Structure 1
Amino acid sequence: MKITFLGTGNSQGIPIIGSKHPVCLSKNPKDQRLRSSVLIEKKKKFFLIDCGPDFRYQMLRSNHTRLDGILITHEHYDHIGGLEDIRPINVNMNNRSIPVYGLRRVLENIKKRFFYIFSSNSKKKTNIANVSIHEIDHYKNFFLLEHFKIFPLSIWHGALSILGFRIDNFAYITDANNIPIKTIQQLKNLDLLVLNVLRKKPKHPSHFTLFESLNIIDKISPKKTYLTHISHMLGFHEKIEKELPKNVHLAYDGLTINP
């Protein structure tokens, strides 16, 4: 399995438009972050987790031209805003429909935001994305995507129930500020954990601070962790990287890992 970080920034990305914050002015490419998303390659199949507004550029930059499925953590714009831009992917795959997986609430939100994709006349049009939607059942431990087992993970993002995902010994969690004990148990024996961190302080109502992320990592005890969904307020990549425990690293855009 190969993991590519397409983006590692928070909802605004880094740099923020008009910001004079030192991190936003940094010339280090590792301080320049698109909205968070990862591409997973397994046995020549490609799965995307979240499809944010930077999706088009992320796919161009990483030189990927196909998708076999999209997993959506939740319905916020920075996680679904790029769904319309999968049209060229459809064309590259002989207009094959791409399955999108999410909670019922999330899928209903997607159908409202992108109503023209799902209208009764949509099949007659060639200038819209071709997707099929698939509800993730909370009562099932896993679902199958291209014969691979995907384990949905219950996560809290403030007052919003969202999903993380586990595939084999890799797990991806973003936008969390609370992980239930049951989910902690589902995250044992990981080779690689990807976990969100927003900043050092102050405490945020819907995202982990660095202290909180490190505390969760201690509870899960993965072999290695990469932090993502990072804001400019965390600090410079190179500086923060030196402050982290030896098995914890900051992810950056374009990073590839083979867990």
Structure 2
Amino acid sequence: MTASEPANSDSSETNPPSSDITPEVIFLGTGTSVGVPAIGCECDVCQSTDPRNNRTRCAILIRLPEGNLLIDTPPDLRTQLLREKIGLVHAVVFTHEHADHIYGLDDLRLFPFRLQRPVPLYCREEVESRIRTSYDYAFSTRTQTHAGSRPQLQIHSINNGDSFEVLGVQMTPVPLKHGPHFDVLGFRMGDFAYCTDTNHIPESSMERLRGLDTLVLDALRFTPHPTHFNIDEALEVIDQLQPRQAFLTHLGHDIDHGPVETSLPDHVHLAHDGLRLSMPSIS
């Protein structure tokens, strides 16, 4: 495995920090763990020509005045960053340790050349343990054979209760349940919140989600699922929280974007890969 230092790494950055940037949320991926189309599936959605039905694995990137903040590193990360012309990630926050949310981590290898430091990762202890196991080579004490032979990472621990600051933005963890066996984190930044991979929001977390401008929420399909909200369940949560607008993500191949979008309440929308939202309220 090799990586060569980019020719411009000593003199410039792609998408550099700028005080002129209005915070923007970019949906890198909005699909379920197998993506849409699913391999070998011939259903109408998997065979659809509507580009909004092409869904890579879930992640968002938030463009901030102090840099680009990535939430999760899905297996499709390289493709997503190239598609959106995002040349640099300054920091990463993780929701949880499942494969569709961490197995693009090696795609961060190029960024330390431009950052001139390791990429900071913010995660819970369970996520750190999985990363250190799955990417043990990234934490080897053996001398590198060449620059870029392994990811340069710096892990910062977060917990369910304490807010923390990343790239000048205060982030509030929102504890969520992802079925009976997994705890995950959503995150609130100003009046924006991102809550994927959940089928239950504890009451204490519901309180952290009140007064939002924009909520992004898991909604896998129409029928019940043991670890994800379905469409009706997500709409019930949105009705309780009353954000100005909401976007549904982690969508499976049951969801045909055009017909489903028109069936939703006016303030609720389906997210799609490449969707960009201006978020001046993130601060």
- TM bracket, shorter-chain basis: over 0.9
Instruction: Deviation per CA, 1:56-92: give whole Å up to 9, x if none.
Output: 0001011111112101000001000100011122233
Q: How does 1:16-165 map to 2 (within 5 A)?
A: 16-94=38-116, 96-121=117-142, 125-126=146-147, 127-140=149-162, 142-159=163-180, 160-165=182-187
Q: Does 1:253 align with 2:265?
A: no
How far the C-alpha of 1:112 sits from its partner, in A, is: 0.3
How far the C-alpha of 1:166 sits from its partner, in A, is: 0.6
Q: Does 1:10 align with 2:20?
A: no
2:276 maps to a residue whose letter is T
2:159 maps to a residue whose letter is D
1:161 maps to a residue whose letter is D
Which runs of 5 or more residues in structure 2 are unaligned? 1-22
Query: 1: distance between equivalents of 2:113 and 2:25?
Result: 24
2:109 maps to a residue whose letter is R
How far the C-alpha of 1:43 sits from its partner, in A, is: 1.2
Q: Does 1:243 align with 2:240?
A: no
2:269 maps to a residue whose letter is H
TM-score, normalising length: structure 2: 0.87
Per the alignment, do residues 205 and 125 of structure 1 end up closer, same or farther by CA in structure 2, a change over 3 Å counting?
farther
Q: Which has the higher helix share?
A: 1
- Given that 2:193 and 2:212 are in contact with CA atoms closer than 8 Å, whether structure 1 keeps it comes out as yes
User: In the alignment, which residue of structure 1 is the partner of 2:17?
Assistant: none
Three-state SS of the structure 2 residue aligned to 1:178 is: coil
Query: 2: distance between equivalents of 1:221 and 1:139?
Result: 23
1:89 maps to a residue whose letter is F
Q: Does 1:186 align with 2:214?
A: no
Of 236, 239, 249, which aligns to 1:228?
A: 249
- Given that 1:65 and 1:92 are in contact with CA atoms closer than 8 Å, whether structure 2 keeps it comes out as no
Three-state SS of the structure 2 residue aligned to 1:232 is: coil
Instruction: Deviation per CA, 1:146-192: give whole Å up to 9, x if none.
Output: 23211111000002111000111100000100000011110011111
Query: 1: distance between equivalents of 2:67 and 2:144?
Result: 26
Three-state SS of the structure 2 residue aligned to 1:239 is: helix
Work out the number of aligned pairs and report it: 255
Per the alignment, do residues 152 and 240 of structure 1 end up closer, same or farther by CA in structure 2, a change over 3 Å counting?
same
Structure 1 or 2, whichever has the larger Rg, is: 2
Query: 2: distance between equivalents of 1:123 and 1:218?
Result: 53
How far the C-alpha of 1:252 sits from its partner, in A, is: 0.5
Per the alignment, do residues 120 and 17 of structure 1 end up closer, same or farther by CA in structure 2, a change over 3 Å counting?
same
Three-state SS of the structure 1 residue aligned to 2:110 is: helix
Instruction: Deviation per CA, 1:1-28: give whole Å up to 9, x if none.
Output: 1000001000000101111011000011
How far the C-alpha of 1:137 sits from its partner, in A, is: 2.5
Which runs of 5 or more residues in structure 1 are unaligned? none
How far the C-alpha of 1:124 sits from its partner, in A, is: 6.0
Query: 1: distance between equivalents of 2:165 and 2:239?
Result: 30
